Amino acid sequence: MRKLLITLVAAAAVALVGCVTINVYFPEAAAQKAADQFIGNVLDDSGVARPAEKVPEKAKPQDGGPSASLLDLVIPRAMAADSPDIQIRTPETDAIRERMKSRFGGALKGLFDNGAVGFTADGLVAVHDANALPLAQRSLVDQENGDRNALYKAIAAANGHPEWEPQIRKTFADGWVQRAPSGWYYRDASGAWKRK
């Protein structure tokens, strides 16, 4: 009986270990750095003045707690946490960046300057003041959003993690607002328009 109980406990432990999946954590810091470079390239090359830089707060180390320590004995942490990196340069993303630079260097910058459009919390561009948006330029918003949606999806795919798209989108959304000059509008997560 005791031998059967030991065998059952051992089998349960093996089954439990087999059911645990190793999560590949989203490399947030690397994504922020990559997004800042991409956004800076689009805005700076389009003649948008760069706002004063804020010193980022240091990230707090995550405390895994005792249960995480026990789990680490059985299953080692993913190696991705040691040297996180995110691929942002592909032929597709390069083409998107060039179209965005061209749009910003053309009419889109002026639409941000006069308050006709602003950034959204989901990394897109939305109409803020329809009266300030000439009919001939309304398609710019759709073109820009098409490229933005394609960009976030392409970056997630290039990194082999399509499930990262929402996190990439959020990282870029924050970056667009941070890099925006004073006077540009943005819509926060609650849907309220604010002026930077």
Does residue 56 form part of some domain? no
How many separate domains does the chain show?
A: 1
Does residue 58 form part of some domain? no
Mean pLDDT of 76-105: 78
Q: Using the predicted structure, report yes or no on whether residue 143 has a pLDDT greater than 70.
A: yes
Does residue 184 form part of some domain? yes
Does residue 57 form part of some domain? no
Helix residue ranges per DSSP H, 45-164: 65-74, 91-103, 109-113, 138-158
CA 95 to CA 30: how far, in whole Å?
A: 22
pLDDT score at 10? 63
Q: Using the predicted structure, report yes or no on whether residue 4 has a pLDDT greater than 70.
A: no
* Domain interval for residue 94: 2-51+63-195
E strand spans, the chain: 117-119, 125-127, 185-187, 193-195
- Lowest-pLDDT choice from 5-9, 91-95, 190-194: 5-9
Band (171; pLDDT cuts 50, 70, 90): very high
Mean pLDDT of 109-128: 97
Higher pLDDT, 36 or 21: 36
Mean pLDDT of 112-135: 96
Indicate the average pLDDT of the chain: 81
Does residue 173 form part of some domain? yes
Mean pLDDT of 7-24: 55
Does residue 170 form part of some domain? yes
Mean pLDDT of 50-77: 45
101: left (phi over 0), alpha (psi -120 to 50) or beta: alpha
pTM exceeds cut of 0.85: no
